Amino acid sequence: MKIIRTTRSMTAWSEGLRGESVTIGFVPTMGALHDGHRSLIRAARLRCDALVVSIFVNPTQFSPTEDLSRYPRPIAHDRALCREEGADVCFEPTAAAMYPEGFQTTLAVPLLARRWEGAARPHHFAGVATVVTKLFGMVRPHLALFGQKDYQQASLIRRLVSDLNLGVAILVRPTVREKDGLAMSSRNVFLSPDERRIAPLLSAALRAGEQMIRSGTDDVAAIERTMRQTVEQAPAIQIEYLAVCDPDSLEPLSVVAARAVLLGAIRIGPIRLIDNLLVKMPGRKVLNQGFRLKAEGGFDDLGFKQK
Ligand code: AMP
């Protein structure tokens, strides 16, 4: 596995392969890799001839009150995981290379970024949209994979890729969870044992909401009440939002129609956790194999290259 640190070498490597019709898969990450990242890397490995994983803790998606310097950076462990999963390149650009003096362009996806994570973290999605677009420009992938764990982020990237004709196929893969339901996250290591014990209440609340929808409830207020009550079993948890939304626009629903996404964010002490569940009404198949956000460049619905 090659470790590439300069943007110029990254692009040269990719351009060389593109010239030989090699398909390039790409998994962008902020490192501190866990089994959620691993599942994306494996899925990319299965689908593409060459595989790039990027590790870059992007400063522009953190707000001044969020501690960028505390974000875990276990680089030796991360490289070992990438190597184990057959990555060809671990791309580790420096912040100085990503944002050289004079850098000033940012991208906005205003409607999709307006609520939920965007409301809680005002500059977050501009930072995400800009860095993902820059990484696509450097890595020039055919297929890029994202986790459903960050549902709003995945929706926004789909929009961005379509709006700007970036020509990258996007595949979104299911959330990987601990045995007790907690969605894996690089931030889980910050939870104390007591906090870790109550953290699965977020996914339990979403499942309770899902259960109500599956048994025929379409009353969003009642579903949200049940989700709240589930989380409120632990007084140490503060709810930021627990909402029933349209899976495409992410606008709140007042009545559940054919599909809904349940979005949640909680705070346990200083730690923020997010999670979501995509629900289809009974009788319709739930897309639990990951859902395709944007078909482009000759890939089929599961991200495999069409013959
Ligand atoms: P991050 O390093 O947190 O920026 O995440 C990099 C990618 O991994 C993003 O596309 C995330 O959505 C995805 N990801 C993070 N956690 C999980 C998880 N538990 N399951 C699946 N994908 C995940």
Residue to substitute in 30, 34, 38, 40 for testing ligand 1 pocket (most ligand atoms within 8 angstroms of CB): 40
Pairing of strands 24-29, 143-147: parallel
Compute the mean pLDDT over every residue in the chain, rounded to the nearest whole number: 94
185 Cα nearest atom in ligand 1: 16
31 Cα nearest atom in ligand 1: 2
Whether the predicted pLDDT of 282 surpasses 90: no
Indicate whether residue 26 lines ligand 1 (CB < 6 A).
no
Q: How many residues does the chain have?
A: 307
Instruction: Indicate the pLDDT class of residue 258, thresholds 50, 70 and 90.
Output: confident
- pLDDT score for 296: 59
30 Cα nearest atom in ligand 1: 2
Give yes or no: 123 in active site. no
Q: What is the pLDDT of residues 83-92, one digit of tens each?
A: 999 999 999 9
What are the residue ranges of helices labelled H in the chain?
Answer: 7-19, 35-47, 75-84, 95-98, 110-113, 117-120, 124-139, 151-163, 193-198, 201-214, 220-231
At position 147, the amino acid (one-letter code) is G
Cα dihedral across residues 65, 70, 76, 81: positive or negative: negative
Residue to substitute in 26, 29, 71, 177 for testing ligand 1 pocket (most ligand atoms within 8 angstroms of CB): 29
Please report which helix (H) or strand (E) contains residue 245, including its range: strand 237-245
What does residue 138 show for φ and ψ, rounded to 5 degrees? -85, -40
Residues 6+ apart with CB under 8 A from 138: 7, 10, 11, 14, 91, 93
Q: Taking the model in full, what pTM does it have?
A: 0.95
Indicate whether residue 30 lines ligand 1 (CB < 6 A).
yes
Ligand 1, atom 22, lies closest to the CA of 147
Ligand 1, atom 13, lies closest to the CA of 147
- pLDDT score for 288: 42
Whether the predicted pLDDT of 293 surpasses 50: no
Whether the predicted pLDDT of 289 surpasses 80: no
Reduced to 3 states (helix: H, G, I; strand: E, B; else coil), residue 202 is: helix
